[in-house]
Chain A
Amino acid sequence: MIYDKNISHQKTTCFHCGDECTTNKKISIGEKYFCCNGCKTVYEILNENDLCEYYELNASPGIEQKNTIRKDKFEFLDNLEIKQKLIQFTDNKTTQVIFYLPQIHCSSCLWLLESINIVDKGIIKATVNFTKKELFITYNEADTSLRKVVETLTKIGYEPHLSLQDIDSKEANKTDRTRWYKIGVAGFCFANIMMVSIADYVSINNPVEYKIKIFFSLLCVVLSLPVLFYAANEFFIAAWNGIKNKYLNIDFPVALALVITFTRSIYELSTGTGNGYLDSMSGIVFFMLIGRWLQSRTYKSISFDRDYKSFFPIALNVINNGKITPTEISQVKKNDIIQVYSNDIIPVDAILSKGNAKIDYSFVSGESLPIHINKGELIYAGGKQLDGLLELIVLKEASQSYLTNLWNNATFTKKQKTKATIYDLIGKYFTYVVLAIGFGSGLFWYMLGEKTLMWNAITTVLIVACPCALLLSQNYTNGNILRIFGLNKFYLRAADVIDDISKINHIVLDKTGTITETKNATIKYTGNQLSEENKITIASLANQSSHPASKLIVDFLNISNLHHVDNYKETEGAGIEGWINEQHIKIGSKNYVGGEYFSTNNGTKVVVYIDGKILGEFIISNVYRIGISELIQGLKKRFKISLISGDNDSELKNIKNILGDNSEILFNQSPQQKLDYIKYLQNGLLQKVMMIGDGLNDAGALKQSEVGIAVADTKNSFTPSSDGVIDASVLPKLNVFIQLAQAGKNIIFLTFCISAIYNIIGLYFAVQGILSPVIAAILMPCSSISIILLTYGLTEMYARKLHLNK
């Protein structure tokens, strides 16, 4: 928590992490200052091992180390079973393991992590995959252990992210390289076929020697086979799947065109009546594959499919007869006694038996302030302990917990989107129309008795009217938009999300962590100067209450010697009162206290009343993200806006100011209620909803909505499963992003129209049977390339107009 205390700001920044050094105590080595002892320790370790190059590559590359890690945190890694599940491979001499290190962000990280063997001599080799933020480590079992490796990494500031998900699903590491092979094959064959074909085209008036011609034809056919049967197979497979499910998708006309082009080419080449269209065929396959690759480019370091498991620890300390044993979560049984440390997430529903529980539920419920739990009370899974060691008695196993149940709720598991896209619809009609024109003109020539012209017309129509242009314009437009979004720190799961974004008309916002900065509340005092005695009095009273606001006040006043309170009384949702040293004190809302200290501030106001006099008030407010108000003003003009929060309504006024009166604002919403609200918007009001949220409590709503966007605060923070991840710093640009997505749709439409014009011109000649094959063959790649260039140029132009280009 960051409180607005007046601390004298020294302008020194931490040598290690670059954060401002805020503590009064100077932590330094020579001229180098540090923000915390953690950072200093890392520096000392690096210095000892002659690794200070780390600081020369980039200025202050470190990760802040304010949270100290307890010594036995990784004891569970000595457990063989757990270890087996985490590592990739071992032969009991050397072991290979891959860690996910979300902290990786610069070349210093790369350098340090790959030099890790200097710190831990047992490590044989460490290789960073920067794009995936992964560290591949091979170590010698004789010299070190998994636990030691993890501890070493943690020591230098790179604590591996070990979570339950690592154990449960392990195939995440596989990368599909088939597309690369296909692009390679198509590119290779295309280049070579084109070389031979150009030779053929230009020799029309000056025929190439006969045997060279035959050789060329054979070469073309041989080279086109891998394109058709290997590189293009995904079009055939998709088309076939479509037919099996009794609908025509966009791949169907593509596949049909490919087959017809190939057959016609073979016919022409074997009869010597023409040069065929094998170059166009392979070229188009090549371009389409590149387009699909552009469109499917994923952000390897961002996972869109995290569920609650990736937030859960792998193991817990279970106390059994005074003995502490690290145990894998799935092995933790009901009634086991477990230990939970500061900053740990509690993975099971349990009852508090020992310790000072201060639980942060913001992630699960959206509540912005931590909650105190008394002994014997229930703590739900997903909460994070903030203060000291706890002992809990397990009530329900991890697989039975409230959170797991919530997650596994049928409504939370959104079905895979199977809806046919708009392009599939176009594809369907397209096929019918083309087939009709083709056979129509064929029939026409047949009636006239021109049999050769008939076949000519039918096939040429199908070749010329290739729907590839449509596919190309869609793939390249979306691919480029994805790229532009990515450059602007807005990452989408897949290209079809762009299509979804362009259709939304209702935006639902979460409050905590979305429009406000995560969990940070500010507290201020205005009014008469508080004497030291007053402060003690107020703190003593507030300390009696477990209300978050009270807790904030106590922390703010920072008093150690508290007084005894008599006749303490708490009125739920209003305030508290009591007697201290013969003084009557009331703290609470203005109605409860019976007065108001006049101030213009927004936020939750806690009025202070001592002995019949109102002294002043504490103002507790969320920190709204910069630019959020402007964003909402902008969005309001085009979309309906709602806000649903799991928090209480203390911020209602602030939010009303921002959102205006027409928007629906709901507080105290459970995750299920959030989800239901989205459902209501969709089914009841027939709205297309974009949900923007950050926490696990929004996960259901994010899944239910047409487009679920998760807000990520820092690079290494985790986001719930969603269609897209937006960096909090660019959230104010959301409106612009939506505009670009909509522009993308127009661009696709426009370019499709242009390609339709190409087609109509081509068809005009084709139906008459007079289209020369050379023209057709030149027209096709030219139209494809012009479409590609056009989509690229237009998206860039729009992006520039919207100031999304740097």
Chain B
Amino acid sequence: MNQEKFYYDNKIPRLFAIACIFWGTVGMLLGVIAAFQLAFPVLNFSEYMPYLTFGRLRPVHTNAVIFAFVGNGIFTAVYYAIPRLLKTPMWNRALSLIHFWGWQFIIVCAAVTLLMGYTTGKEYAELEWPIDILITIIWVVFGINMFGTIFTRRERHLYVAIWFFIASWVTVAMLHIVNSFEIPVSFMKSYSWYAGVQDALVQWWYGHNAVAFFLTTPYLGLMYYFLPKAADRPVYSYRLSIVHFWSLIFLYIWAGPHHLLYTALPDWAQSVGTAFSIMLILPSWGGMLNGLFTLRGAWDKVREDPVLKFFVVAVTCYGMSTFEGPMLSLKNVNAISHYSDWTVAHVHIGALGWNGFMTFGMMYWLIPKLFNAKLYSRKLASAHFWIGTLGILLYAIPMYWSAFRSYFMMKAFTPSGQLEYEFIDVVQTVVPFYVIRAVGGTIFLIGVFLMIYNLIKTAQSGDFVESEEASAAPLVKEYTAPKNSIWHSLIERKPLLLLVLSLIVVGIGGLVELIPTFLVKENIPTIASVKPYTPLELQGRDIYIREGCYNCHSQMIRPFRYEVTRYGEYSKAGEFVYDHPFQWGSKRTGPDLARIGKKYGDSWHFNHMLEPTSMAPGSIMPSYPSMYENTIDKVSTNSKIHAMRKMGVPYPDGYEAIANQDLEKQAMQITKGLKENKIEIASDKEIIALIAYLQRIGTDIKLEPKK
């Protein structure tokens, strides 16, 4: 009578597990396709449709893997582990279902809109504002459900895994809100509230922390639950895991700026990122060792159990990535790695090794449990393990190699002081590596198919356990003698607490009011010659963003001799004050575009976009024939100009009304110029706007009077 009976719902974890594997396969498949596209541009199918070009596909791949595959993996773990750790079913089943279907709906929306070209142009946060709002709502639903469960728990102690889940939820919520601060222009189009350098800082503060709190902390929670479970032995040191959690939480949040070393971000902000990134080694390795030591003395088990094999490699990859990460944040290492394939390799060691293998391990353990069956084939699982490992190696090694090859080629000078290689030479050199990488990815994906087969067979051989009965006594209020802790006295002084809390609320409210004006004032250009974009350029820029050009082209020249010689004068912070969003990019599959303006003629761009190899033989860039057919969306000009002015871009009052006249005037000029080169095109085609934008990039600074 003192015990309460309750049931663990297995349906929700099963749903999430299926979704996780399904989206994982989709995401990886897209990754493989994207990888092959880099080697064989014909696979962009751009002659037939604009939807599958690399620039659009890659964000779908990254979003699918991060938010669909890993996201559903996290939720599988949360909905399975939290009830069991807290001895209570999830707080509200309806919320669980809303969470599940809501999240899948978001994923579908994301895939569709991204392929259609609706993007904010900020990496890993590409989704447009309606989806951002949807994400916020579903995230809150998840939060209510999780905290509801925590508050109604029957187990007093919150196991360390739960702390990792809580921290992930809180921090991701904050990151998402701060980074998604955007002003809607129309349904499915918005501009980032931040401009240029500021946008870059916020973006990478978000970007790094997304890695930290979406790909790392929840998976650490997963590790702390499933690794001991699978090994059937407690974690090596529980005390260490507590220290691991708290030190990670207090350090992680500052590491973001290391993504912007040598950029126009102020030095001091870069150094802060470096310092904290290096400090992160300690807690990260503490966690890794804790995971590995848990298996100390159980290596015979590891040899036999595929689940543990996956976990061991996953944790090792975590250790490698968390060592490599801080190294990459050192300025001299970063000089080599940034914009190169090294970053890609680094990310995939984490994604394939840590997240991928951790998920696979979890699935091999969980599915037999859910279906009350034995794993269909251990051999097959072992085969998956070896294939997957091989896949990771074949992926990572060519990427490292390519990074170093291209670095040395890029910085090679002839004795006479000329650059030894053209950019296209470098591209040609690394394409074979891209092929191997794509093969590696394919092999990894084949492993996943083995897993799917194995798991389906497993499920078929057993009966799904819809719910598991358990019983526990409710949490009893422990009687403790009154204490004189600060905490206690704080609560006793409730009025004071209330006052403090309301002050905080008012403070936050005030900030929200103040921040926009605050930011707008910041956007007064420090370089006098930098002017707002013309309406046509603005439209062209939006096309640039739509096609995801930033996925391969940076707009940020670092102050190195070889970069300045190759691309032109290095970038200054003041050049970007009207860039909503910034388009610095993070990877140079193609050359930097920060000084592309006026470098070539309009006809060059015209021909290049239609058939890149005609202008640059050996180029792997896709062609964009649709831009020659689609017309510029002039209807949106008005609201775009309006939104820009709201954010402090100094368009004159009432300019909205005449903006399209200016636009047409400039378009006519470009068409006229093209005509002189015997190219016939209507002036309202998108390519005209894009050319206008490209010819503008990085030219303002040249107009500055020489001192």
Contacts and interface: CB of A to CB of B under 8 A. Distances in A.
Nearest to B472: A125
A275 to B, nearest CB: 12
Contacts of B269: 199
Nearest to B475: A125
Interface string B280-294: 000000000000000
A97 to B, nearest CB: 10
A123 B481 CA distance: 22
Contact of A138 (B246, B268, B275, B476): B476
A122 B2 CA distance: 7
A174 B481 contact: yes
B197 to A, nearest CB: 12
Interface in A56-115: 88-89, 94, 96, 107
Contact of B476 (A121, A124, A181, A188): A124
B266 to A, nearest CB: 7
A200 B269 CA distance: 9
Interface string B465-488: 000000001001011010101110
B2 A121 contact: yes
A778 to B, nearest CB: 11
B668 to A, nearest CB: 43
A125 B268 contact: no
A88 B271 CA distance: 55
B268 A203 contact: yes
Contacts of B481: 171, 174
A136 interface: yes
B539 to A, nearest CB: 34
A178 interface: yes
A96 B268 contact: no
Interface string A139-159: 010010000000000000000
Given A123-B2, A174-B481, A199 B476 contact: no
Contacts of B483: 174
Nearest to A216: B268
B296 to A, nearest CB: 12
A208 B267 CA distance: 9
B250 interface: yes
Contacts of A138: 473, 476
B433 interface: no
Interface in B214-265: 234, 246-247, 250-251, 254
B250 A202 contact: no
B268 A191 contact: no
Interface in A247-274: none
Contacts of B1: 121, 140, 143
Contact of A191 (B251, B476, B485, B486): B251
A188 B473 CA distance: 37
Nearest to B257: A199
Contacts of A121: 1-2
A111 to B, nearest CB: 12
A206 B478 contact: no
B473 A124 contact: yes
Nearest to B154: A125
Given A89-B479, A94-B476, A206-B267, A181 B486 contact: yes
A181 B490 CA distance: 14
A381 B247 CA distance: 54
Nearest to B156: A127
B266 A203 contact: yes
Scoring B156, B473, B487 by chain A CB atoms within 10 A of each residue's CB, the highest score goes to B473
A107 B486 CA distance: 35
A615 B267 CA distance: 98
A107 B2 contact: no
B473 A117 contact: yes
Contacts of A171: 481
Q: Name which of A122, A123, A198, A206 has the most chain B CB atoms within 10 A of its CB.
A: A198
Interface in A116-135: 117, 121-125, 127
Given A177-B485, A198-B275, A206 B476 contact: no
A294 B147 CA distance: 34
Interface in B372-429: none
A442 interface: no
Contact of A195 (B3, B156, B254, B266): B254
A187 interface: yes
Contacts of B234: 107
A210 to B, nearest CB: 13
A140 B254 contact: no
B88 to A, nearest CB: 14
A2 to B, nearest CB: 34
B515 to A, nearest CB: 14
A200 B2 contact: no
Size category of the B interface is 20 to 34
Contact of A140 (B2, B276, B478, B485): B2
A202 B254 CA distance: 16
A188 B276 contact: no
Contacts of B3: 117
Contacts of A194: 275
Contacts of A174: 481, 483
B272 interface: yes
Nearest to A142: B1
A140 B3 CA distance: 12
A611 B379 CA distance: 83
Interface in B468-514: 473, 476, 478-479, 481, 483, 485-487
A96 B251 contact: no
Interface string B1-21: 111000000000000000000
Contacts of A122: 2
A125 B155 CA distance: 10
A202 B276 contact: no
A234 to B, nearest CB: 14
Contacts of A88: 479
A92 to B, nearest CB: 14
A181 B2 CA distance: 36
Nearest to A190: B250
Contacts of B272: 195, 198-199, 202
B268 A206 contact: yes
Contact of A199 (B247, B268, B487): B268
A84 B271 CA distance: 63
Contact of A96 (B247, B254, B478): B478
B525 to A, nearest CB: 15
Interface in B153-179: 156
Interface string A151-193: 0000000000000000000010010011001001001100100
A613 B487 CA distance: 84
Interface string A198-220: 11101100101000000000000
A121 B471 CA distance: 13
Contacts of A202: 267-268, 271-272
Contact of B271 (A89, A140, A143, A199): A199
Interface string B445-483: 000000000000000000000000000010010110101
B646 to A, nearest CB: 24
- The 7 tightest CB contacts between A and B, nearest first, are A89-B479, A203-B268, A124-B2, A202-B271, A125-B473, A199-B268, A138-B476
30 contacts: A89-B479, A96-B476, A107-B234, A117-B2, A121-B1, A124-B473, A125-B2, A125-B476, A140-B1, A140-B2, A171-B481, A174-B481, A178-B485, A181-B487, A184-B246, A187-B250, A188-B250, A191-B250, A195-B254, A195-B272, A195-B276, A198-B268, A202-B267, A202-B271, A202-B272, A203-B267, A203-B268, A206-B267, A206-B268, A208-B266
Interface of A: 88-89, 94, 96, 107, 117, 121-125, 127, 136, 138, 140, 143, 171, 174, 177-178, 181, 184, 187-188, 191, 194-195, 198-200, 202-203, 206, 208
Given A125-B473, A194-B275, 20 more contacts: A107-B234, A117-B473, A122-B2, A123-B2, A125-B2, A125-B476, A136-B478, A140-B1, A178-B485, A181-B485, A187-B246, A188-B250, A195-B254, A195-B276, A198-B268, A198-B271, A198-B272, A199-B272, A202-B272, A203-B267
